[in-house]
Chains A and B, each alone.
Chain A
């Protein structure tokens, strides 16, 4: 009797583990760029349309698939999409903004060479997607918290812009959070500790910061100081023709709505959709920069809009 009960418990445990497991394994693939190894990709195979997720350089791809919880990548896979997530970790620390954009362009070209591609991009990742310009193979864009200009930044972002980023790895030193200069702590606060990342902890989010080279950081700081992106970005945004969806959290302190709205407004696409997330629009909470893609509330409030964006009809 006791043995039967034990067996039953083990069976129940195995069943619950199986149901909790992600529906697809994560495979890693590399994109070749000439003779050098290019960016790595994490693959969530699916039978449906191909989706590339591009996060921000400096933040791990893991925010799209939080261990033990899930995220946008497995969520889309469960809906049948063939999902690829860009991993920025191999980007050389000498890379500037142009080099990062070229990486994204290479990935889009490679993934789109076989079949049509849809792109979901977050933050600075979206800036790189836009700077890559129109690609015939891309049939939908969903931009999450991607600023179309840099007017009226909040204080932590301006503090960041005023610094001379000559030392690499600075953004990756989050474990020394309390020892960091106040200006950097404020930027991290704005970036990471936004509303609604439950059940993901701030400590876990801190660990997802990855190294970013000084050239890229200085390019970013320069754009912030002049309050706009460069000509490559403007031309890229105007050149887009595929349907564009722009989503943002109302209290996003890094890419606030008044900046992301410009992405929607200036996109060349005929079919565009814009939505910000706010309790005033019936959402359960306010959303910040990272909480837009992390956390159980994002699953309920935001992800369905991502899926709608991927199905937006021209």
Chain B
């Protein structure tokens, strides 16, 4: 990279990092979990597990719940503060909850100048290393035979991949929230991006979101851009929550992960790195109860994108739930407001918890 480019990058990123520091007293929120422990993957990454113990006085459920975030996010996607925290909501109702940071984000190992980790990992590393390590570690610590899995966005996709490879013997149920598997029905610049992506697929590099999103977080909600509406619906997410998400809940996107997701995004099968395992067809191995959740205003996990998994799963006990005003909800839900929207604690969390309880 030439010096001019480096200087240009520094000129853009440095002020943003400075801003991020300035806003820290205003926007930084420490994790609210009871403890943070780690699982170690077979390739030596330490995966953070935010543990929410069952609240004292509640009747404990036997099966632990693993909660996973999606791409460009971390554990805070599910746990913005004490009120908007699905793990805390579950813990207060007797569940033993483990909310994870996938490799490279949050409190998990992150590539830096001071370790040997790199940003070259991809989607299959999540599927074949992070997920098995987390499930085994939770089972070891709790002594339970199986876990409930709840994944948002890519956090559900990696579970589809895991089941396709390893089956569902260690799973009690699977819940996916806004998790796309077939990227169809897009319009406007999303369709344009789909057309352009193949040309750039091999050149996708790590997007250092942590270097600039926190710096502009203070403007969250001020302009309500179409890019923001892509990920959440401001009718259902206060500007304050948007700022907190931008500051605390964003994460760098690894180039390898972007490249591996560019395939399905542009119409290629949702499959393993070498193409040998089709992660959609592999859902014929998913026989445990499946709960597929979406929002009608979700522009990333659109209903067209999430329902093929619902159809492909072999589960005989499966439920599709679309959060929409027409279905009696207060708002039309977008991608992120399904997890930390203003009304999620009142509308989404109870339904997810009720469904888990009915399958305990």
A residues lining the B interface (CB < 8 Å): 151-152, 154-156, 186, 189-190, 250-251, 253, 256-258, 261, 265, 274-276, 278-282, 286
Q: Are A155 and B326 in contact (CB-based, < 8 A)?
A: yes
- Ranked 7 nearest A-B pairs via Cβ: A253-B326, A258-B304, A281-B188, A261-B185, A190-B326, A280-B229, A279-B229
B-chain residues with CB within 8 Å of residue A258 when the two chains form the complex: 185, 302-304, 307
Q: Are A261 and B184 in contact (CB-based, < 8 A)?
A: yes
B residues lining the A interface (CB < 8 Å): 184-185, 187-191, 224, 226, 229-230, 296-297, 299, 302-304, 307, 320, 322, 324-328, 332
Identify which of B230, B320, B328 contacts A152 (C-beta below 8 A).
Answer: B320
Identify which of A186, A256, A275, A279 contacts B187 (C-beta below 8 A).
Answer: A275
Residue among A278, A282, A286 with most chain B CB within 10 A: A278
A286 to B184, CA, bound (A): 20
B-chain residues with CB within 8 Å of residue A282 when the two chains form the complex: 188, 226
Q: How many residue pairs at the A-B interface have CB separations less than 8 Å?
A: 73
Q: Are B185 and A257 in contact (CB-based, < 8 A)?
A: yes
Selected A-B contacts with CB under 8 Å, 29 pairs: A152-B307, A152-B320, A154-B296, A154-B322, A154-B326, A155-B328, A189-B326, A250-B299, A251-B325, A251-B332, A253-B296, A253-B324, A253-B325, A253-B326, A253-B327, A256-B296, A257-B185, A257-B304, A258-B303, A258-B307, A276-B185, A276-B187, A278-B299, A279-B229, A280-B226, A280-B229, A280-B230, A281-B226, A286-B332
A-chain residues with CB within 8 Å of residue B188 when the two chains form the complex: 275, 281-282
A-chain residues with CB within 8 Å of residue B185 when the two chains form the complex: 257-258, 261, 274, 276
Given contact pairs A274-B187, A280-B299, A281-B187, A155 touches B327 in the complex (Cβ within 8 A): yes
Given contact pairs A261-B304, A276-B187, A251 touches B324 in the complex (Cβ within 8 A): yes
A205 to B358, CA, bound (A): 42
Q: How far is the CB of B65 from chain A (nearest CB, A)?
A: 26
A152 to B190, CA, bound (A): 23
A-chain residues with CB within 8 Å of residue B299 when the two chains form the complex: 250, 278, 280
Q: Which residue of B lies closest to A250 (CB)?
A: B297
B-chain residues with CB within 8 Å of residue A265 when the two chains form the complex: 184
